[in-house]
């Protein structure tokens, strides 16, 4: 499962050398940007909780939004900081703590996580 693809230019052969260099420079610019995906799950909050994010270790996971499914218009008091351990043998990121959130088996939540992956290339043009 690949969730973290970055933008890829179509492979082409150019008659003009300048066009080929331009295409390579543009691809390098795409490769040097961090990539992010959003992942939404509906679950009870337990610790630990596994979030499947593909086969590549993310550089950061943050909680972008949370909704209490029992009272959808009531705000949930918690932060966006997510502590996790990379456990590919368990299926991804094992979340061990979300800032300010208490485990519960009576309140079901809709979590929207933003998962950041490192840039493919760190070099300069």
pLDDT per position as a tens digit, 30-73: 666 668 889 999 999 999 999 998 888 999 999 999 999 999 99
Of 37, 1, 8, nearest to 24 by C-alpha is 8
Which of 1-5, 28-32, 74-78, 115-119 is predicted with the least confidence, judged by mean pLDDT? 1-5
Judge whether 125 lies within some domain: no
Q: Could you give the CA distance from residue 122 to residue 125 in angstroms, rounded to a whole number? A: 10
Judge whether 53 lies within some domain: yes
Q: Which residue has the higher pLDDT, 16 or 1?
A: 16
The whole-number pLDDT of residue 22 equals: 66
| Residue in the block written with tokens 């052969």 | 13
Judge whether 78 lies within some domain: yes
CA–CA distances in Å: residue 70 to residues 12, 22, 42, 52, 122: 53, 53, 12, 25, 44
Domain that holds residue 53: 35-117
For the whole prediction, is pTM greater than 0.75?
Answer: no
Judge whether 2 lies within some domain: no
Using the predicted structure, report yes or no on whether residue 26 has a pLDDT greater than 80: no
Judge whether 28 lies within some domain: no
The whole-number pLDDT of residue 107 equals: 95
Q: Could you give the CA distance from residue 62 to residue 70 in angstroms, rounded to a whole number? A: 23
Q: Could you give the CA distance from residue 81 to residue 71 in angstroms, rounded to a whole number? A: 23
Number of domains within the chain? 1
Judge whether 17 lies within some domain: no
What digits encode the pLDDT tens for the residues 39-51?
999 999 999 999 9
Judge whether 26 lies within some domain: no
When pLDDT is cut at 50, 70 and 90, the band that residue 1 belongs to is: very low
Q: Are 80 and 62 in contact (CB under 8 A)?
A: yes
Judge whether 1 lies within some domain: no
Q: Which residue has the higher pLDDT, 110 or 29?
A: 110
């Amino acid at each position: 499962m690949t969730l973290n693809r970055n933008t890829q230019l179509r492979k082409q052969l150019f008659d003009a050398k300048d066009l080929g260099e331009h295409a390579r420079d543009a691809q390098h610019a795409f490769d040097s940007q961090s990539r992010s995906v959003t992942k939404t799950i509906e679950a009870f909050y337990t610790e630990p909780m596994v979030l499947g994010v593909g086969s590549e270790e993310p550089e950061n996971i943050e909680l972008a939004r949370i909704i209490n499914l029992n009272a959808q218009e009531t705000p949930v008091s918690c932060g966006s900081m997510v502590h996790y351990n990379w456990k590919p043998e368990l299926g991804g990121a094992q979340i061990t703590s979300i800032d300010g959130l208490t485990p519960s088996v009576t309140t079901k939540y809709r979590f929207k996580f933003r998962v950041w992956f490192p840039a493919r290339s760190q070099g300069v043009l």
